[in-house]
């Protein structure tokens, strides 16, 4: 969600003017952005144990002949985006048969990525991409804010930032920011928004069954957490690719 959208929702709830530009109400803008940033950090702290909540989605466009791509955070799942409709996304599984990707010399094969490994902190696709493919990477991280300079961080610093999280997660940040703003203004409605944020957070965490129930119901190595690879992934691992095992 755009920070400007979150800013305007807080402004409406708390009786402040909507954002117009950076010179109209600079003091108000700095104040509300700081309250949003504090609300974000508070929400991250309260959901840190919930691995399936603190996640973001990045889009990678592959280049022909390039198989390594940088990623921020712990990889949970990777999808190959193709076309439109319900079947437009195909999961790219982690290849459990490559123990030491740093010494693998792939055969001369190229095409759409069929599996991947983590090699020196980067994603390495097999086979080597032969053209531009749209790859969506879902990673577990606390750096949920995407800045204008194409960097990620865990704090809101500019109105043009974006919070790369679900709508429900962003709504909790907005409610918490409203509580902070009204509390600073000694407004009694601060307690109302604080209680609302607490209730919304509790329901949000209760819906996140993957982080708590799944390790007890399934063999962890079958996707949710692979101790050898250090990955969070809800999909069954890849069973090997001809020429790479």
Residue-wise pLDDT tens digits, 120-167: 778 889 889 999 999 988 887 778 888 877 788 889 999 999 998 888
- 96 vs 23, residue with greater confidence: 23
**Is there a contact between 36 and 7 (Cβ–Cβ < 8 Å)?**
yes
Q: What is the pLDDT of residue 57?
A: 79
- Exposed, middle or buried: residue 38 (CB in 10 Å: 0-12, 13-18, 19+)? middle
Most confident option among 88-92, 94-98, 105-109, 198-202? 198-202
Place of tokens 């390594």: 68
Neighbours of 79 (CB within 10 A): 17
Q: Which of 172, 137, 175, 173 is nearest to 156 (CA)?
A: 173
- 135 vs 73, residue with greater confidence: 135
**Is there a contact between 174 and 182 (Cβ–Cβ < 8 Å)?**
no
Q: What is the pLDDT of residue 4?
A: 95
* pLDDT band per the 50, 70, 90 thresholds, residue 95: confident
* pLDDT band per the 50, 70, 90 thresholds, residue 33: very high
The strand pairing partners of 137, in sequence order, are 58, 78
Place of tokens 């969600």: 1
* pLDDT band per the 50, 70, 90 thresholds, residue 99: low
Dihedral Cα 201, 203, 207, 213, nearest 10 deg = 90
3-state secondary structure of 143: coil
- 181 vs 84, residue with greater confidence: 181
Instruction: Give me the percent of the chain exceeding a pLDDT of 70.
Output: 76
Residue 218 CA: distances (Å) to CA of 97, 213, 241: 21, 9, 25
With 80 as the cut, is the pLDDT of residue 30 above it? Answer: yes
Both tokens of 102, joined, read 């740093």
With 70 as the cut, is the pLDDT of residue 2 above it? Answer: yes
Q: What is the pLDDT of residue 205?
A: 80
Query: In whole angstroms, what is the distance from residue 13 CA to residue 193 CA?
Result: 10
DSSP state of 45: H
The values of phi and psi at residue 136, to 5°, are -100, 125
* pLDDT band per the 50, 70, 90 thresholds, residue 219: very low
Please report, for the chain, the start and end positions of each structural domain, with discontinuous segments joined by +: 3-52+143-212, 55-141+217-232
What is the rounded average pLDDT for all residues in the chain? Answer: 79
**Is there a contact between 174 and 6 (Cβ–Cβ < 8 Å)?**
yes
């Amino acid at each position: 969600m755009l920070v400007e959208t979150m800013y305007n929702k807080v402004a409406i709830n708390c009786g402040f003017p909507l954002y117009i530009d950076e010179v109209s109400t600079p003091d108000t803008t700095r104040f509300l952005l700081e309250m949003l940033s504090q609300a974000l950090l508070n929400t991250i702290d309260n959901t840190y144990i919930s691995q399936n909540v603190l996640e973001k989605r990045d889009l990678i466009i592959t280049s022909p002949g390039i198989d390594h791509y940088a990623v921020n955070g712990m990889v949970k799942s990777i999808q190959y985006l193709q076309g439109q409709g319900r079947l437009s996304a195909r999961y790219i599984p982690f290849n459990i048969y490559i123990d030491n990707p740093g010494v693998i010399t792939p055969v001369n094969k190229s095409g759409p990525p069929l599996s991947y490994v983590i090699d020196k902190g980067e994603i390495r696709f097999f086979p080597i991409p032969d053209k531009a493919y749209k790859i969506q990477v879902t990673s577990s991280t606390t750096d949920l804010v995407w800045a204008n300079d194409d960097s990620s961080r865990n704090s809101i610093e500019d109105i043009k930032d974006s919070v790369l999280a679900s709508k429900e997660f962003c709504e909790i940040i907005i409610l918490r920011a409203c509580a902070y703003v009204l509390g600073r203004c000694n407004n009694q409605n601060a307690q109302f928004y604080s209680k609302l944020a607490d209730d919304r957070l509790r329901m949000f965490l209760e819906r996140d069954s993957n982080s708590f129930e799944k390790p007890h119901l399934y063999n962890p190595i079958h996707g949710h957490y692979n101790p050898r690879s250090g990955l969070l992934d809800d999909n069954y691992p890849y069973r090997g690719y001809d020429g790479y095992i």
